[in-house]
Amino acid sequence: MDGFTKTRADAPPGFFAAEAAGLRWLAEAQGVRIVRVHDVDEHRIVLEHIRTTRPDAASARAFGAGLAVMHDAGAVAFGAPPPGWSGPNFIGRREQPSAQESSWGAFYARDRVLYFVEQALRTGGLTAAQAGVVRAACEPIAAGVFDDDDPPARIHGDLWAGNVLWSPEGVVLIDPAAHGGHRETDLAMLALFGCPFLEQVYEGYEGQRALRPGWRARIPLHQLHPLAVHAVGHGPAYGSALADAARETLALAGS
């Protein structure tokens, strides 16, 4: 078997099982190609080996279109884990809550932003003043100012460029934090650390599924979560970026 094995001796219960459940759920959407799971146990996961190549514009457009198909496969609620999985959700090495919310904003503010703010305060990645700005931004989010009638999307949840592999057959996704979320969250994550041919990805997406007007202006709103996660473990620079995104979100809420 040609596989790639990830191991973690100190893995918390459900760490690799959650990854496997997320990968299988995303693959069921038959949108973007998802790395196959060969085997999984408490301390390791064995995945198919992906041969990589250089990114190109055509693959980026196909990736964008496939991502829209994956999102449209949907989820039962905002924050919902893959069906049949009742354990924790993880982003990177960090646990985060699951939920069963009808309001995206209520879920996102509570379980994806504020959940990490307290942790970032404890680790020194966020100052008290910065945390105040983030909490203020979460008030209109939780109140539903940014909610719309789009149903929960089946999102990857940790879609930064490092989890996008470019193979000769097209893009393959790895390492999800899969759950029911807002489709714009995955698109904003791609923009956070830069993705090759990003405009072509967006072009392919909108060719498959039109996005709501103003989605680019809402990118900072959807980057609050990954910035909060990074503020916990990667230092004050991310706390500053999180506070800046929160200020932009507050400006959007008041516009």
| Domains of the chain, first to last | 3-254 (3.90.1200.10)
Q: How far apart, in whole angstroms, are the C-alpha atoms of residue 127 and residue 124?
A: 7
Q: How far apart, in whole angstroms, are the C-alpha atoms of residue 184 and residue 155?
A: 9
Give me the pLDDT at residue 142, please: 98
Q: How far apart, in whole angstroms, are the C-alpha atoms of residue 161 and residue 63?
A: 12
Q: Are strands 94-96 and 89-91 parallel, antiparallel or unpaired?
A: antiparallel
Give me the pLDDT at residue 3, please: 87
Residues of the chain with pLDDT under 50: none
Give me the pLDDT at residue 43, please: 94
Distances (CA, A) of 114 to 131, 159, 207: 9, 20, 34
What is the residue whose two structure tokens read 């041969």? 51
pTM, full prediction: 0.96
Extract the tokens encoding 101: 């919310």
Per residue in 95-137, pLDDT (tens digit) is: 999 999 999 999 999 999 999 999 999 999 999 999 999 999 9
Give the residues across from 172 on adjacent strands. 33, 165
Extract the tokens encoding 132: 């105040």
